[in-house]
Every structure is written in structure tokens, then in C-alpha cells.
Amino acid sequence: MSGKRLLISLAHPDDESFGLGGLIGKYVAQGIEVDYICGTKGDRGTIADEHLQKYGSVEAVRDAELNCASKVLGFRQVYKLGYSDSGMRGSPFNDDPHCLIQADEQAVTGQIVGIMRETQPQVVITFDPFGGYGHPDHIYMHHATTRAFHVASDPAQYPEFPGVYQPQKLYYMVLSRRQLRFFILLMRLRGVDPRKAGVNQDLDYVEILDNTLLPTTKIDVHAYSDLWQAASLCHASQVNPRTGIPRFLRRIVTRRQSLYRAFPAVFNGAKLERDIFEGVRF
């Protein structure tokens, strides 16, 4: 082991694979210990009968899929916070008292602080302030993880989790603006409104582009494109085989992982970082 540790804090079972599969594969291959915090059970996902019959409940399907992806990616540990999914803005699921966005923010931050103190990562990755595409659970995990990052070293905060600890770097996942512009163009060419995309027409790609932060860091993950795909395919109930992207296009899309370094702040004009462990002290 390299002594390097990375903590990834996201919302749903599948965010780790769809969002960061290549990056996780790359760092695990370098002997870095990677832990994953997953906020919800994925219990509001839309699931076809064939998947449901095998496991009995949506929650069980999503849990089995996360365990499969976790094995493929090589996480050291997965911390499942166990909240119910919230829906997109305006969804009736958001009134459910068990959903993540209804959870007490102090308590969720405390859970993440406890995991940071236990696993002692030098680097933490979560969502950007817009939650990638605006999902309320993503935005919630962004806030809770960012707060946890800044209070984990304060002994007066959450004394029930002993052993204060300060991770050194905090990153937000960001989408590539060039790829977003390309997708918007493709949608327009196919007669699809990019402001009403997705199965539920609740994805606004123009809003996503407007909210995407400029990356400070780009990680070359091209060698892990197949692993990214293998982990993503574990989430079979969430992948539509008919709309899967062709291999050559996937290889282009998954060539680099873009990130925004939130802490320590990056000054204007700084050159792009190529490794999230750059400058980390051991």
C-alpha cells in the first residue's frame, strides 16, 4: 500500500461508477486505498420487472448492484448512509421524511466527519455545488461533505467521533464543457430539446452547462475505460442497453476525468493539475 487514501462521497448507488469509474480504477491500481460514502439506498430508481423479480425489492437490487461495482472498482470499504432517494426538483418523493434531503444536515455532516476521522483520507471528492445535473441529493451531499471537510479537525465538533483529522485536498467532480456542448448539439440535431432531456424530461443541459465549473484538474483515465464500463454495467437496472454509447465514443468521453479543486483554492492562471495527490504531504 502507498499510504495514500482517497474518500469519495456521493449520493446514489451508481454515482461512483457512472461519474468516477475510470478515476477510481486508476487510483486503486496505484495501490491507493479508496473508500466510498453512498448517501442513499437508491430505492426510488425506476426498475424493470426482470430485475425486481430476482431480488424482491428495488432497494435489494440497487444494493446488489453497488456491491458488484464495489468489487469491480476495488473499494476498500463502502459506507452506506441508508437514506431514501429524493427526486428531482418538484418530485413528491421530496416530502418523504426518510429521504436524504429531509435528513438533519448536522447529523449527516456528523456521519461524514466520523468516516473522515476513521479512514483518514488525504484527498476527498464530492459533487460540485450544482450537483452535476441539479439532483437535490447530489447538492445535499456536496454541502454535507464540504462542511465535514472543514470541521473534521475541530475537536469541539462531533466529539462522539474521536480522533480529529484534517484531509488536505477537496475536489468537486465536474463535467467537461466541451462534451456538454457536443451533447447539446447532438440533441438539437436529433430534434430533442436539450432543456427537457432524459426519460422524465427533467434534465436541462443548458442549465447544466451554465453551472459547470471550469476544471482545475484533469486526470488521464483512458486506460481504465473498460473498467469504467464494467463497473457501470453492474448497475444493470439503471442502464438502457439500447441507448448505450458505442465503444469508440465511450473511449473518447472517458479519456479524462475533470475535477475542480475547491481546497486549497486554485489561483487564476495556475496550470492544470494532472494528479489529485500532487503536493500531498505524508
Taking the complex as a whole, the smallest distance from the CB of residue 42 to Zn ion amounts, in Å, to: 9
Interface with Zn ion includes 59 (CB under 5 A)?
no
33 versus 85: smaller Cβ distance to Zn ion: 85
Taking the complex as a whole, the smallest distance from the CB of residue 13 to Zn ion amounts, in Å, to: 9
Stretch that binds Zn ion, among 3-11, 54-62, 107-115, 168-176 (CB under 5 A): 3-11
Q: Which residues contact 174 (CB under 8 A, 6 or more apart)?
A: 128, 212, 213, 214, 215, 258, 259, 260
22 versus 87: smaller Cβ distance to Zn ion: 87
Taking the complex as a whole, the smallest distance from the CB of residue 168 to Zn ion amounts, in Å, to: 26
Interface with Zn ion includes 85 (CB under 5 A)?
no
Interface with Zn ion includes 15 (CB under 5 A)?
yes
Q: Which residues contact 235 (CB under 8 A, 6 or more apart)?
A: 13, 14, 17, 18, 62, 65, 66, 69
Interface with Zn ion includes 12 (CB under 5 A)?
yes
106 three-class SS: helix
Closest CA to 240 of 187, 179, 198, 280: 198
The H or E element that residue 77 is part of is strand 77-83
136 versus 215: smaller Cβ distance to Zn ion: 136
51 versus 235: smaller Cβ distance to Zn ion: 235
13 versus 25: smaller Cβ distance to Zn ion: 13
Interface with Zn ion includes 16 (CB under 5 A)?
no
Stretch that binds Zn ion, among 11-19, 111-119, 145-153, 259-267 (CB under 5 A): 11-19
* Gap between the Cα atoms of 256 and 261, Å rounded: 16
Residue with grid cell 486506460, as numbered in its chain: 223
What are the distances in angstroms from CA 11 to CA 40, 136, 148, 179? Answer: 6, 10, 15, 23
Query: Applying CB under 5 A, which residues contact Zn ion?
Result: 11-12, 15
